[in-house]
């Protein structure tokens, strides 16, 4: 089976983890600090703070910006649910606006139309590895005095005109197992604001200013030394991984763009191809089944927009009985509106393998079988 994703590990990662085990220092320590410094350099920012997951990064970023009850955060309906869930977790209200049909990212025109006096932040998502129109979102955030949070979970080393994602606003990255670089689980917050960086450090570690001195209410969202050791090994390989993803995507596009809608890449934007996503009108399930029969794994990212998820439609179940307060927050996210571009994309998108572990034969097989379906 040609898999949709495959973590790329070698002897460097093995030796790095074994060295941590041998040291006896497993919790957050020197390796985490070294990983933070190295990642800050990658993202062209002054500070990077390691946390337990990409979701934790988004959650703590919102808290560090003092976003909470009564506030609204404009975001996309076309992403993994964590993007919006963290807004609810801090007591704020997600406000969904529609996406651009080519990049699948927030439409800045609709973002500006949705801004009200209660809006406190814009959360843009660099989906599939292609930067959203972060320059326009940065301009809006500045004009309306809003926090700008970048969900860069899928976009390590992506950039706009040479400026790295994660350096426009408060960057939030994930190192989940399938990401372009991985620590198994883990996340990172990037910023040029020393106060925000210090606030995140407090929040990730029970509000401890020094050992057993707690000056804030916080969580246990620390990264382990083993995760950081993996990250230090992976970050040195990231550019090679990225170049291979781009080369694989170029091959697929050259051989498929005459038969299907292939990923768009805006001028000056570096697409790092966490996913290579095409559009299939009307017969996606049949395509998936046929490709799987031919040994090609595919995936749908994402089959149901967040605003149409049962929880966001306020559909109580035995797993989730919403309190009146939480129901008001969810309903406040205008979840009953029709967002045609996001809903259309959810019906049509299909991700093909693009990871750096693909061989030339793998790529040729993918092209041959997709073209056969088109014909």
- The candidate with the shortest Cα–Cα distance to 92, out of 110, 113, 118, 114, is 118
Mean pLDDT of 30-51: 98
| pLDDT number for residue 319 | 66
Distance in angstroms (rounded) separating the CA atoms of residues 90 and 291: 42
Partners of 281 in the β-ladder: none
3-state helix, strand, coil in the chain (%, to 5): 40, 15, 40
Q: Answer left, alpha or beta for residue 241, where phi above 0 means left and psi between -120 and 50 means alpha.
A: alpha
| pLDDT number for residue 320 | 66
Q: Answer left, alpha or beta for residue 157, where phi above 0 means left and psi between -120 and 50 means alpha.
A: left
- The candidate with the shortest Cα–Cα distance to 305, out of 273, 266, 349, is 349
Pairing status of strand 276-279 against strand 349-352: antiparallel
Mean pLDDT of 366-371: 98
How sure is the predictor about 335, in pLDDT bands with cuts at 50, 70 and 90? Answer: low
- The candidate with the shortest Cα–Cα distance to 135, out of 113, 159, 115, is 159
Q: How many other β-carbons are positioned within 10 Å of the β-carbon of residue 1?
A: 9
| pLDDT number for residue 366 | 98
DSSP state of 27: S
Q: Which residues contact 101 (CB under 8 A, 6 or more apart)?
A: 341, 344, 345
Between the two ends of the chain, the Cα-to-Cα distance in Å is: 23
| pLDDT number for residue 197 | 98
| pLDDT number for residue 315 | 73
Instruction: At 361, list the tokens.
Output: 């034969």
Q: Are the CB atoms for 106 and 84 separated by under 8 Å?
A: no
Q: Is the pLDDT at 336 greater than 70, yes or no? A: no
% of the chain exceeding 90 in pLDDT:
91
Q: Which residues contact 37 (CB under 8 A, 6 or more apart)?
A: 48
Tens-place pLDDT, residues 287-326: 999 999 999 999 999 999 999 998 888 776 766 666 676 6
**Rounded to 5°, angle at Cα 69 from 328 and 198:** 145
DSSP state of 214: E
How far out from the chain centre does Cα 106 lie? 14
Partners of 99 in the β-ladder: 106
Model's pTM, two decimal places?
0.96
How sure is the predictor about 282, in pLDDT bands with cuts at 50, 70 and 90? Answer: confident
How sure is the predictor about 332, in pLDDT bands with cuts at 50, 70 and 90? Answer: low
Q: Which residue has the tokens 């946390």?
A: 51
DSSP state of 160: E
| pLDDT number for residue 334 | 62
Tens-place pLDDT, residues 108-150: 999 999 999 999 999 999 999 999 999 999 999 999 999 999 9
| pLDDT number for residue 313 | 85
| pLDDT number for residue 288 | 97
Partners of 119 in the β-ladder: 72
| pLDDT number for residue 337 | 79
Mean pLDDT of 265-278: 98
- The candidate with the shortest Cα–Cα distance to 329, out of 67, 147, 22, 141, is 67
Radius of gyration of the chain (CA): 21
Q: Is the pLDDT at 86 greater than 70, yes or no? A: yes
Mean pLDDT of 346-366: 98
Q: Is the pLDDT at 66 greater than 90, yes or no? A: yes
Q: Is the pLDDT at 361 greater than 70, yes or no? A: yes
Which of the following CATH numbers is that of domain 11-235: 3.40.640.10, 3.40.950.10, 3.40.50.970, 3.20.170.30?
3.40.640.10
What is the CATH code of the structural domain delimited by 238-303+340-374?
3.90.1150.10
Q: Answer left, alpha or beta for residue 300, where phi above 0 means left and psi between -120 and 50 means alpha.
A: beta
Q: Is the pLDDT at 327 greater than 80, yes or no? A: no
Tens-place pLDDT, residues 199-213: 999 999 999 999 999
Q: Is the pLDDT at 333 greater than 90, yes or no? A: no
Mean pLDDT is lowest, of 84-98, 217-231, 296-310, 315-329, for 315-329
Within the chain, all domains assigned CATH 3.40.640.10 are found at 11-235
Distance in angstroms (rounded) separating the CA atoms of residues 93 and 117: 13
Distance in angstroms (rounded) separating the CA atoms of residues 15 and 232: 12
Q: How many other β-carbons are positioned within 10 Å of the β-carbon of residue 286?
A: 11
- The candidate with the shortest Cα–Cα distance to 306, out of 271, 277, 348, 343, is 343
Can you tell me whether residue 19 is helix, strand or coil? helix
How sure is the predictor about 223, in pLDDT bands with cuts at 50, 70 and 90? Answer: very high
How sure is the predictor about 49, in pLDDT bands with cuts at 50, 70 and 90? Answer: very high
- The candidate with the shortest Cα–Cα distance to 352, out of 268, 255, 266, 265, is 255
Q: Are the CB atoms for 158 and 173 separated by under 8 Å?
A: no
Tens-place pLDDT, residues 163-191: 999 999 999 999 999 999 999 999 999 99
- The candidate with the shortest Cα–Cα distance to 152, out of 168, 135, 136, is 168
């Amino acid at each position: 089976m040609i898999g949709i994703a495959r973590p790329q590990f070698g002897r460097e990662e093995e030796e790095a983890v074994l060295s941590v085990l041998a040291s006896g220092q497993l919790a957050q320590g020197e390796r985490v600090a070294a990983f933070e410094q190295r990642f800050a350099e990658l993202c062209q920012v002054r500070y990077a703070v390691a946390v337990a997951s990409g979701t934790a990064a988004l959650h703590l970023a919102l808290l560090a910006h003092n976003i909470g009850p009564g506030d609204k955060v404009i975001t996309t309906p076309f992403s993994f649910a964590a993007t919006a869930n963290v807004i609810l977790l801090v007591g704020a209200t997600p406000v969904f606006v529609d996406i651009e049909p080519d990049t699948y990212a927030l439409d800045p025109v609709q973002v500006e139309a949705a801004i009200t006096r209660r809006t406190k932040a814009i959360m843009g998502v660099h989906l599939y590895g292609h930067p959203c129109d972060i320059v326009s979102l940065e301009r809006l955030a500045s004009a309306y005095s809003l926090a700008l949070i970048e969900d860069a979970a899928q976009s390590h080393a992506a950039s706009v005109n040479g400026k790295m994602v994660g350096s426009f606003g408060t960057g939030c990255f994930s190192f989940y197992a399938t990401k372009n670089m991985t620590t198994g689980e883990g996340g990172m917050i990037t910023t040029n604001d020393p106060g925000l960086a210090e606030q995140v450090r407090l929040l990730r570690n029970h509000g401890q200013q020094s050992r057993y001195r707690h000056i804030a209410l916080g969580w246990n969202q620390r990264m382990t030394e083993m995760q950081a050791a993996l990250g230090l090994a992976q970050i040195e390989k990231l550019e090679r991984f990225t170049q291979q993803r781009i080369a694989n995507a170029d091959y697929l596009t050259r051989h498929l763009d005459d038969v299907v809608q292939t990923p768009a890449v805006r001028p000056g934007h570096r697409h790092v191809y966490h996913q290579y996503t095409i559009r299939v009108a009307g017969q996606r399930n049949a395509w998936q089944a046929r490709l799987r029969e031919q040994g090609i794994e595919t995936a749908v990212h994402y089959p149901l927009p967040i605003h149409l998820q049962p929880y966001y439609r306020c559909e109580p179940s035995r797993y989730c009985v919403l309190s009146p307060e939480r129901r008001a927050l969810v309903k406040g996210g205008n979840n009953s509106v029709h967002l045609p571009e996001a809903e259309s994309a959810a019906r049509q998108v299909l991700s093909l393998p693009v990871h750096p572990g693909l061989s030339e034969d793998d790529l040729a097989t993918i092209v041959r079988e997709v073209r056969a379906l088109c014909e």
